[in-house]
Amino acid sequence: MTTIVKSVVGALLAVLGLVLTVIGAWFATQLGSSGTAQFTARPATTDPVILRPSVLNRVDSDVVVTATPAEGATVWMALANPSDAADVLGDARVVSATGVGVRDWVLQTRPVGSGEAPTLGLADLWRQQDSAQGPVTLTVKQEQAPEALVIATEGGPLETVTFTVTNKTWFVEAVVAVLAGLFLVVAGVALAWPTRRVAEQATTEEVTR
């Protein structure tokens, strides 16, 4: 391998290792040793909010969803078969969760539909439901997938929806990324350093001549 090729390969390895180390360290600090990822949406609306299987059942771990209404308002949250939830909502105007954003740890949403929402709590299709003047939390078990989760409020808007997933292997994977990144940095520097040393020696010999 020529001198210039060694320098280029060493630099690329070092840069790649540095990037991998930074990303791994960031995820490790954000997830913590428990491997907990938390994503939040702020709908600020009285329209129903729905989380479909594409969001709820995308991971193997249980998902904990917490809905918090404005002060004085009541929040209602329920789980149902996705087709049943779609039937009862019809073409009502709802806020649909579409995914998560890791950079800002947000639960991404978008409005869909245009009709008026029915009185959801009266339907007999809900597998599990709860309501309160304050935060309400439901745990989605993946063995019951697929499921849809619907949230509605009365007396005020829905302030936040928090989507929490815990998977300890994520923290381990982040730490492995840090270690792999550090190894690449060391390997890259080790590959490039002899080149610099040889070049310096050659320059010194030329000067002495």
91 & 119 share domain: yes
71 & 108 share domain: yes
pLDDT digits (tens, 9 = 90+) for 90-124: 889 999 999 999 888 999 999 998 888 877 877 77
Task: Name the phi and psi angles at 144, rounded to 5.
Answer: -100, 5
84 & 131 share domain: yes
The Cα 181–Cα 187 span in angstroms is 10
Q: What is the CB neighbour count within 10 angstroms for residue 161?
A: 24
The length of the chain in residues reads 209
At 1, the pLDDT band (50, 70, 90 cuts) reads low
Cα–Cα–Cα angle for 141, 119, 163, nearest 5°? Answer: 30
Predicted local confidence at residue 203, as pLDDT: 52
119 & 136 share domain: yes
130 & 90 share domain: yes
Count of structural domains, the chain:
2
Q: What is the CB neighbour count within 10 angstroms for residue 143?
A: 5
Minimal CA–CA distance to 69: which of 132, 122, 118, 129?
Answer: 132
Predicted local confidence at residue 168, as pLDDT: 86
Is residue 31 pLDDT above 70, yes or no? yes
pLDDT digits (tens, 9 = 90+) for 114-162: 888 877 877 778 989 999 998 999 999 998 889 999 999 999 999 999 9
> Which domain range does residue 15 map to?
3-30+170-208
Burial class of 84 by CB neighbour count within 10 A (0 to 12, 13 to 18, 19+)? middle
65 & 122 share domain: yes
Q: What is the largest CA-CA distance in the chain?
A: 96
Amino acid symbol at 6:
K
Q: Coil, strand or helix: which one is 74?
A: strand
**Dihedral angle sign, alpha carbons of residues 99, 100, 103, 109:** positive
The CATH number of the domain holding residue 124 is 2.60.120
In percent, how much of the chain has pLDDT > 90? 47
